[in-house]
Amino acid sequence: MYEEVVRARGHENVSAEHASTFEVTSDDWLTPAGDCILAVEADRTPEDFDDDFVAACQDESATITAIVEVEDDDGETYQQTVEGSGHPDLTFEGDRSHVGRTSDYVDDRTILVGADAAAGDFDRDLVAALANGGDVTFTLRVE
């Protein structure tokens, strides 16, 4: 198993309504149109990930797990796990954002395909904590 951890934060415009993707971006802003974005100001992007992690994710039989953990101002923690698959075309060359997809579409931002959830499926209490600017730990594991 390989693991990569990204730190980010929520934003007041997080709505998490997108039906086929979820995203964590290094941008420090978010407009209401960005309905797939869960967190901003990511401290790492896919291009920062270890080569062994990337190679493991390029195996079609790999299971990639994304864990979004949010801590709100009261110290309460919310967590959601999304599972998807690896793909031979995953490059992890994106320098701005991490995108998980329910489809099998791949570009340089894609971190997993065949996700069992998209932004719109996330727990609404977790989404509220994101919209309140909670601290985010975004963990990716590949097995």
Four-CA torsion 11, 13, 16, 17, nearest 10 degrees = 180
Instruction: Write out pLDDT tens, residues 51-81.
Output: 999 999 999 999 999 999 999 988 999 999 9
Instruction: Write out pLDDT tens, residues 24-59.
Output: 999 999 999 999 999 999 999 999 999 999 999 999
Q: 5: pLDDT confidence band, cut at 50, 70 and 90?
A: very high
Say if residue 141's pLDDT is above 90: yes
Cβ–Cβ < 8 Å for 96, 27: yes
Say if residue 106's pLDDT is above 90: yes
Terminal alpha carbon distance of the chain: 5
Using CA atoms, how far residue 40 sits from 71, 86, 90, 112, 137, in Å, is: 14, 24, 22, 19, 11
Four-CA torsion 29, 119, 52, 63, nearest 10 degrees = 180
> Which domains does the chain possess?
2-142 (2.60.120.630)
